[in-house]
């Protein structure tokens, strides 16, 4: 039987820098977190997308 890896558990949304990458952890419905590795350019593009949809005139 394969060894079970421990779950990181639920937690707040967070971003940490590891080397040249940014690691984004986002809580998801049903428990656990989505973990995404992005670079600085991708983070900037994500920021622009989020600002575009969250600002209302």
Question: Which of 30, 35, 43, 37 has the alpha carbon at shortest distance from 13?
Answer: 35
pTM of the predicted protein model: 0.69
Residue linked to tokens 């994500």: 46
The predicted pLDDT at position 32 comes to: 86
For residue 10, the Cα-to-chain-centroid distance in whole angstroms is 13
Between 1 and 45, residue with greater pLDDT: 45
Burial label for 32, CB within 10 Å (0-12, 13-18, 19+), is: middle
Rounded Cα distance between 42 and 48, Å, is 10
Which has the minimum average pLDDT: 28-32, 38-42, 48-52, 53-57?
A: 53-57
Name the band, by pLDDT with cuts 50, 70 and 90, for residue 50. very high
């Amino acid at each position: 039987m394969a060894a079970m890896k421990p779950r990181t558990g639920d937690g707040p949304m967070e971003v940490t820098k590891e080397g040249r990458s940014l690691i984004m952890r986002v809580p998801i419905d049903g428990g656990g977190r989505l973990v995404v590795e992005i670079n600085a350019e991708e983070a900037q593009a994500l920021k622009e997308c989020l600002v575009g949809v969250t600002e209302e005139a």
